[in-house]
Structure 1
Amino acid sequence: MAPYESEDSQGAGQSAARRKVVRYAVPVAVVGVAAAAIGLVPALADSGDPDLPKVTARELIEKIAASDTEQLSGTVKIHTDLGLPALSGAASAFGGVGGGGKGSSSADPKEKLTELASGTHTLRVAADGEDRQKLSMLDDASEYSVIHNGDDLWAYDSASDSAYHATADRHGSAAQRERGSRTPVTPKELTDQILDAAGDHTSITVDGTAQVAGRDAYRLQIKPRQSGSTVGAVTVSVDARTGTPLKFTLTPAGGGAAVVDAGFTAVDFGRPAASTFDFKPAKGTEVTEADDLPARDRPGKGHEEFKDAQGLDGLKVVGAGWTSVAELKLPKEAAGLASGSGGGDLPGAAQKFLSSLGDQVKGDFGTGTVYSTRLVNVLITQDGTAYAGAVTKDALIKAADAG
């Protein structure tokens, strides 16, 4: 594949019209990792505190919203530590269930998403407006890339020499079609999601300055005003010149290392070379066409289609702001998870494995099991109702009692 090149390292080709920052990462619903975890490196850390003119939090948010960055390329390090238990034996415990469906490809982005849930990964990103983006996840010996170029969206896994291809249809571009289940990865996408949900439940301040990827930046700090959230603070380093978020760090209320730490270690705001977004599978590459897959195996399914496919119903939100809790009814066979008796036809090893992960709890709702990470907690009640949110165990029980 073509390297990430720059035609103008000084930023030529920037749009003259002021408009909101494009979401320069490839739609992350189609992004996965073909890379093993690498060691956390000091490059993620800020270096130096530049002397910059004072700005208010409102001015800094307006700077992010007004940024006209449409071309860039660079390297991002992302580290995720949800505190998930080791799942090395989970596949065998579940009897090998959960693999790709019939006709699925090892390059299918849906098969790669779970690898972003832990460890440290190196990403190369490039963007040239709304129609051309590329994101690659790098390993020592392989690379997994997603390339959006006009009406074509390709995913390629060098380890298996397989590719996945989607094209535009009457519903819009390939990128838009894949957007339904996207997961934010870049500092910009992560920041947008937090600011969109901020509301009156949030304290937003400017917490000094930093230098990220060799560029001067302001630090925007976002904290919940509500008690009961597992989120301690979100810190966003914003490029002082362009208004582009360069680094995103989410720390838990319980202290310790960041849950999510994603930041540029190198960035260039010039227009990437057109060849960056070219992709043509080599002879012998196994290519899977998205339209040839069964409907339920295609990424980007809408919420209603997802519910129909998974047997979920009654999805609603309890509470507001940082302590919002999603409530939904699980399929009948999942009800046994709460008591540790397993669900449906799960083998005994799987039942034992699931039971070992949770804590038994009681409340006005009855009995259930709480499955915890450092950020998100999930309560499954005896009747198969699930409550999930970035809230404490007590907040989940309170939401279940209210429900």
Structure 2
Amino acid sequence: MAPYEPEQNTGEAGELRAGRRKAARYVVPLAVAGVAAATIGLVPALATSGDPELPDITAQKLIEKIAASDTEQLSGTVKISTDLGLPSFGGMSGGFAPGSGGGGEGGDGEGSSADPQSKLMELASGTHTLRVAADGPDKQKLSVLDDAAEYSLIHNGDDVWAYDSKSNEAYHSKAEGKAGDSAEKDLPKDVPSTPKELADEALKAADSTTSVKVDGTAQVAGRDAYRLVIKPKQSGSTVGQITVAVDSKTGTPLKFTLTPAGGGSAVVDAGFTKVDFDKPAASTFAFTPPKGAKVTEEGDEAKAEKHGFKDGGKEFKGEKDLDGLNGLNVIGEGWTSIAELKLPGGQGLPTGESGDVPPDAQRLLDSLGDQVKGEFGSGTVFKTRLVNALITDDGKVYVGAVTKDALVKAANAAH
């Protein structure tokens, strides 16, 4: 799908900014799609070389090997790519698109462009190169590398620092726990960013609805690995299969690939291109804000609320935000689970004619949606390659990693 390019001139800019906050509440499913897809595990396949000869192992033993893996020290480079089939959100940075930040350069509020809760959402689309390092539960570092900039998130003892070199902004928070205790606050888990985190999420679904088997071997980042293949048994899921390359010696997942049931390239492919299991240098986790950097302390965001920014620019942060919506209910189980909820106000999507949606937002919604009808009435299905969402005209939302037909069937059954 070609990137979405907003049409905007100077005269329209004020109208567009004013409309963004109104439009935000109507595009919750788009944020749901981005977060849910990232949580399930999102990313084009990374090249592996050779099929090493390894001792036979059962799927159960390999899963146990992953669970028993005690790897706490490593460093390396991870390439992660996500292809949901969504258009680019371009200049629409009103706070409701995945990856949009509330503050920093060009922001409407006083938030920080280095805030990890919004910055890491950028991993939910496109291709990114990450440097990762870990030394036990209290020291981790993740850096997202761009062509001319770098975003780093560092957890070192009681401190969590984030730094965006592009804007020269830093964000600082204190880890929870009493002084002297081991820090309880880890790097944010909203968006899985390593093969292990992605594999852990996938293995949570390994029950009676799932087929799990070992399917050969591979070599990833110079390491011999087993290929664990996870497939839904249920029909109606948009997930084709998940393949996890598991290091034969340490049990550490080295690569994660999710392919859609509809075929084509991977929705998510995340894997190490380099990995080292030696202890990283202590200096890896040291951080001091550069001279002249704007530093935001956790809690300073409260200032933004005074400017009316909190509701309009709030990032969608997953299940906790869903709790604030009306009548959240989960239909079905396993891979075909569908979340049912009600939009605030009890009404469906507005149209550009109502004046609630700016032209750019309306064109984006129209490009993503398919009109559907059923016993429930009528509505619009918003599609990605993995997660789909149905919004009915009476304000109900059905969302899941399922087909359009499965959403309509669920809406009819709930009618």
Indicate yes or no: 2:245 matched with 1:234. Answer: no
SS of equivalent to 1:176: coil
| Aligned equivalent of 1:244 | 252
1:52-91 correspondence to structure 2 within 5 Å:
52-88=54-90, 90-91=92-93
TM-score calculated relative to the size of structure 1: 0.81
SS of equivalent to 2:408: helix
Is the Cα–Cα contact under 8 Å of residues 388 and 401 in structure 2 kept in the other structure? Answer: yes
| Aligned equivalent of 1:317 | 330
Indicate yes or no: 2:185 matched with 1:176. Answer: yes
* Residue identity matched to 2:282: A
Q: Give aligned pairs, total.
A: 355
1:50-129 correspondence to structure 2 within 5 Å:
50-88=52-90, 90-91=92-93, 99-100=102-103, 102-129=109-136
TM-score calculated relative to the size of structure 2: 0.79
CA distance in 2, matches of 1:106, 1:371: 29
CA distance in 2, matches of 1:131, 1:369: 46
Query: Gapped runs of 5+ residues in structure 1?
Result: 1-28, 33-39
CA distance in 2, matches of 1:278, 1:344: 51
| Aligned equivalent of 2:371 | 360
Report the Cα offset of residue 346 of structure 1.
2.2
CA distance in 2, matches of 1:126, 1:398: 46
| Aligned equivalent of 1:377 | 388
| Aligned equivalent of 1:390 | 401
* Residue identity matched to 2:132: V
* Residue identity matched to 1:164: Y
* Residue identity matched to 1:212: V
Report the Cα offset of residue 198 of structure 1.
1.9
Summarize deviations over 1:118-167 as a string: whole Å, max 9, x none: 22110000001111100000122211000011111110011111100111
1:256-295 correspondence to structure 2 within 5 Å:
256-294=264-302
Query: Gapped runs of 5+ residues in structure 2?
Result: 1-34, 39-43
CA distance in 2, matches of 1:198, 1:115: 28
Is the Cα–Cα contact under 8 Å of residues 333 and 343 in structure 1 kept in the other structure? Answer: no
| Aligned equivalent of 2:26 | none
Indicate yes or no: 2:197 matched with 1:189. Answer: yes
CA distance in 2, matches of 1:229, 1:301: 24
Q: 1:399 aligns with which of 376, 387, 410?
A: 410
* Residue identity matched to 1:48: G
Is the Cα–Cα contact under 8 Å of residues 134 and 280 in structure 2 kept in the other structure? Answer: yes
Summarize deviations over 1:184-241 as a string: whole Å, max 9, x none: 1210000000111221100000000000000000000000000000000000000000
Q: CA RMSD in A?
A: 2.8
| Aligned equivalent of 2:149 | 142
Is the Cα–Cα contact under 8 Å of residues 167 and 173 in structure 1 kept in the other structure? Answer: no
* Residue identity matched to 1:217: A
CA distance in 1, matches of 2:273, 2:53: 21
Change (3 A) 1:373 1:124: same
* Residue identity matched to 1:222: I
Is the Cα–Cα contact under 8 Å of residues 328 and 385 in structure 1 kept in the other structure? Answer: yes
| Aligned equivalent of 1:6 | none
Summarize deviations over 1:346-376 as a string: whole Å, max 9, x none: 2244234312320000111111000001111
Report the Cα offset of residue 169 of structure 1.
3.8
Change (3 A) 1:140 1:98: closer
Change (3 A) 1:176 1:370: same
| Aligned equivalent of 2:139 | 132
Indicate yes or no: 2:230 matched with 1:225. Answer: no
* Residue identity matched to 2:377: G
Indicate yes or no: 2:214 matched with 1:206. Answer: yes
